[in-house]
Structure 1
């Protein structure tokens, strides 16, 4: 069975890199660095969670991924200007995907915490 959050976070990271390259091509290096850091760390933390040594460690890693996803969502709002990424074709999809990722992570974390009890 496929792990949907692993797949979605990897796909989002790849799309984030495309946005990063588009921003750099326009000379927005600092903004590009901020966004790519948040966008790619979501999947890295989800991947780390797969090898967690305990349920608490699993929850901690996914909580970090959730925070990074919220940061990526913030950067998408900031970057949604014509001179930045407003004309980036993947922008609507990135916005939808980050919402799905945030919702999935929230649900997984909540369920995992409930299973601790």
Structure 2
């Protein structure tokens, strides 16, 4: 389900596509009246891409690193909610698919943050 917004920005595309999947999972949770977890998951899962998007228009290298760090934190929070949802067995969903995708996003974003912070310390 790749979007064509910015074909060269892999993390932007992956985080956008992941947000769409989170919205679908949110709909399932909402239909089961699981409002607390569904809202937390929706907020953190869509915030990843929003922060990556903001980072593309960063005002400075420091601002870029900050926005990507926030995206990293949101991705980790999303992984927490997915794990909790899986262990609680509130709904049936493809946990491994979501876990693989969030872990991939965490790896990509972590690498970007490390590079950005390294570049900041050089100046």
Same fold by TM (over 0.5)? yes
- Match of residue 49 from structure 2: 43
| 2:62 aligned residue (56, 61, 79) | 56
Question: Whose RCO is larger (CA < 8 A, sep 6+)?
Answer: 1
Aligned counterpart for 2:76 among listed residues 70, 75, 87: 70
Mapped to 1, the partners of 2:113 and 2:81 lie a distance apart of 23
Decide which moves more: 32-41 or 90-99: 90-99
Shift of 1:47: 0.1
User: Where do residues 1-117 of structure 1 align in structure 2 (5 Å cutoff)?
Assistant: 2-81=8-87, 83-85=89-91, 87-88=92-93, 90-116=94-120, 117=122
Q: CA deviation at 1:83?
A: 4.0
Structure 1 residues not aligned, in runs of 5+? none
Which consecutive unaligned segments of at least 5 residues does structure 2 have? 1-6
* TM-score of the aligned structures, taking structure 1 as reference length: 0.93
Give 1 or 2: higher helix fraction: 1
Aligned-CA RMSD value:
1.3
